[in-house]
Amino acid sequence: MESISKGLENVNIKWTRLTTIDGQKGILWYMGYRIEDIINAKASAEEIQYLFIYGQLPTKQQLDDFKKKIQEGYNIPDYSVKSITNLPRSADSVALQMNAMASFAATEKFTWNKQTDRDYAARIIGQMASVTSVAIRHVLGKQPKLLEPSDSLAKSFLKAVFDREPSEKEVEAMNDALILYLDHEVPASTTAGLVVVSALADIYSGIVGALAALKGPLHGGAAEAAAMQFLEIGDPSKVESWFAENIKSGKKRLMGFGHRVYKTYDPRAKIFKKLAQELNPQGQAKTLYEIAEKLETLGINEFGPKGIYPNTDFYSGIVYMSLGFPLQNNIYTALFALSRVTGWMAHFLEYVEEQHRLIRPRAVYVGPSERPFLPIDKR
Ligand code: CMC
Instruction: Establish whether residue 189 lines the binding site of ligand 1, counting it when its CB lies within 6 angstroms of any ligand atom.
Output: no
Q: What digits encode the pLDDT tens for the residues 295-348?
A: 999 999 999 999 999 999 999 999 999 999 999 999 999 999 999 999 999 999
End-to-end Cα separation, the chain, in angstroms? 31
**Most ligand 1 atoms within 8 A of CB, residue of 248, 251, 259 to mutate:** 259
In this prediction, residue 19 carries a pLDDT of 98
Residue 219 known to be catalytic: yes
Instruction: Establish whether residue 343 lines the binding site of ligand 1, counting it when its CB lies within 6 angstroms of any ligand atom.
Output: no
Domains 16-218+331-354 and 222-323 agree in fold: no
Is the pLDDT assigned to residue 2 strictly greater than 90? no
In this prediction, residue 67 carries a pLDDT of 98
**Most ligand 1 atoms within 8 A of CB, residue of 271, 311, 340 to mutate:** 311
In this prediction, residue 312 carries a pLDDT of 97
Instruction: Establish whether residue 191 lines the binding site of ligand 1, counting it when its CB lies within 6 angstroms of any ligand atom.
Output: no
As a whole number of angstroms, the distance between CA 85 and CA 142 comes to: 10
Split at pLDDT 50, 70, 90, the class of 56 is: very high
Percent of the chain with pLDDT over 70: 100
Q: What digits encode the pLDDT tens for the residues 215-232?
A: 999 999 999 999 999 999
State the chain's mean pLDDT as an integer.
Answer: 97
As a whole number of angstroms, the distance between CA 91 and CA 101 comes to: 16
Question: How much distance in Å is there from the Cα of 271 to the middle of ligand 1?
Answer: 21
Which of 312, 279, 301, 89 lies closest to 179 in space, CA to CA? 312
Question: How much distance in Å is there from the Cα of 2 to the middle of ligand 1?
Answer: 26
Report the pLDDT averaged over residues 186-214. Answer: 98
Which of 303, 311, 299, 307 lies closest to 336 in space, CA to CA? 311
CATH match of 16-218+331-354 with 3.30.70.260: no
Phi then psi for 80, rounded to 5 degrees?
-75, -35
Instruction: Establish whether residue 219 lines the binding site of ligand 1, counting it when its CB lies within 6 angstroms of any ligand atom.
Output: yes
CATH class of 222-323: mainly alpha
Instruction: Establish whether residue 222 lines the binding site of ligand 1, counting it when its CB lies within 6 angstroms of any ligand atom.
Output: yes
Instruction: Establish whether residue 263 lines the binding site of ligand 1, counting it when its CB lies within 6 angstroms of any ligand atom.
Output: no
In this prediction, residue 342 carries a pLDDT of 98
Q: What digits encode the pLDDT tens for the residues 274-302?
A: 999 999 999 999 999 999 999 999 999 99
Catalytic residue from among 138, 184, 219, 347: 219
Q: Kindly give the number of the ligand 1 atom that is closest to the alpha carbon of 187.
A: 51
The string of DSSP letters for 26-73 reads: TEEEETTEEHHHHHHTT--HHHHHHHHHHSSPPPHHHHHHHHHHHHHT
In this prediction, residue 1 carries a pLDDT of 76
Residue-range domain boundaries for the chain: 16-218+331-354, 222-323
Split at pLDDT 50, 70, 90, the class of 28 is: very high
Question: How much distance in Å is there from the Cα of 149 to the middle of ligand 1?
Answer: 40
Lowest model confidence (mean pLDDT) among 1-10, 188-197, 256-265, 285-294 = 1-10
Amino acid symbol at 259: H
Which of 149, 308, 172, 287 lies closest to 227 in space, CA to CA? 287
| β-pairing verdict for 33-34 and 19-22 | unpaired
Instruction: Establish whether residue 187 lines the binding site of ligand 1, counting it when its CB lies within 6 angstroms of any ligand atom.
Output: yes
Residue 347 known to be catalytic: no
242 neighbors 250 (Cβ within 8 angstroms): no
Residue 216, Ramachandran bin (φ over 0: left; ψ between -120 and 50: alpha; else beta):
beta
In this prediction, residue 200 carries a pLDDT of 97
Classified as helix, coil or strand, 22 is: strand
Split at pLDDT 50, 70, 90, the class of 93 is: very high
Is the pLDDT assigned to residue 42 strictly greater than 90? yes
Residue 259 known to be catalytic: yes
Q: What digits encode the pLDDT tens for the residues 110-151?
A: 999 999 999 999 999 999 999 999 999 999 999 999 999 999
Q: Kindly give the number of the ligand 1 atom that is closest to the alpha carbon of 257.
A: 7
Whole-prediction pTM value? 0.97
Q: Kindly give the number of the ligand 1 atom that is closest to the alpha carbon of 247.
A: 2
Instruction: Establish whether residue 256 lines the binding site of ligand 1, counting it when its CB lies within 6 angstroms of any ligand atom.
Output: yes
Question: How much distance in Å is there from the Cα of 258 to the middle of ligand 1?
Answer: 5
